[in-house]
Amino acid sequence: MPGGSIYVQQDEKFTGSSPQWWYEKFWREGAQSRRRSRILKAAVGAVAGFALALRFGLPVPALCGLALGGVVAGVDWWLDWRSFRATAVWRGRRRGEVITGRLLRRALGRQGYRVLDGRAIRDQASIDHLVIGPGGVWIVDNESWSPDTEIASYGGRLFFGEKYGTKTANQQTAAATAFAELLSRETGIEVVIRPLIAVHCGMLPRGGTLTAEGLTLLKPRLAAKHIRANRTALLDAAQIELLARTAARELQRV
């Protein structure tokens, strides 16, 4: 690529041929259309507010209309902003592991859970987060697909759009098994690990959670809630400390 370096691999998220680049380009080009639509919605809201104020005998109907129009415009802007921000990880503008790690610590830290980031078993598996607490042990990875990718289960099989998700599910369950075997062997505590994927972009079913082929995919904000609600073991403080110390010692940082 002109102006690039032959020694540094280009990130396709920032090149002119990537879906992410085109998404941002079309978003910017659509700004004027969105503003026109927002003005129209605000005008309808203002008329509705004025009519409601007259209907119920509220003082200063014109002010009520303006207020409702402003609320409609504000809500419309917020929905647009939220939909664009929801693609930030997919577009490479935010780091999914940072977002999920912060959410896990905030929700689970005071309940006796330990969260270790970026751990790996040499030549076997790596994960973004290892969560150890009173309810058991989980591994959590972060993934992001294009906004129009439907994540679904048909006949017990996982799909990402029209593609099978079996490879992804097998990778995560294999990583969970490898981590569980290592921790069980080194601590003498029988460990069962459940794999989770925090989905930062993509279309999950209503409710934001899907389980298929031994893997649970969910919105990042739901990960801590899922962990609290789905216990796989009953661990005391000493066992949690032993598992956390062993993981910190035996697993590589990535």
Measured CA to CA, the distance from residue 253 to residue 245 in angstroms comes to 14
Measured CA to CA, the distance from residue 21 to residue 254 in angstroms comes to 28
Measured CA to CA, the distance from residue 38 to residue 50 in angstroms comes to 18
121-157 pLDDT tens trace: 988 889 999 999 999 999 999 999 999 999 999 999 9
User: Considering the entire predicted model, what is its pTM?
Assistant: 0.87
47-64 pLDDT tens trace: 999 999 999 999 999 999
H-run or E-run covering 109: none
Question: What mean pLDDT is predicted for residues 65-92?
Answer: 96
Question: What mean pLDDT is predicted for residues 81-95?
Answer: 96
Q: Report helix, strand or coil for 235.
A: coil
Task: Tell me the average pLDDT of the chain.
Answer: 93
Biggest CA–CA distance in the chain, Å, is 75
User: Beta strand pairing status for 114-121 and 125-133?
Assistant: antiparallel
pLDDT of residue 75: 98
pLDDT of residue 17: 76
pLDDT at 240 over 90: yes
pLDDT at 252 over 50: yes
Among 248, 250, 220, smallest CA distance to 98 is for: 220
Specify which residues 198 forms β-bridges with: 142, 218
Measured CA distances, 52 to 46, 57, 114, 178 (Å): 10, 8, 54, 63
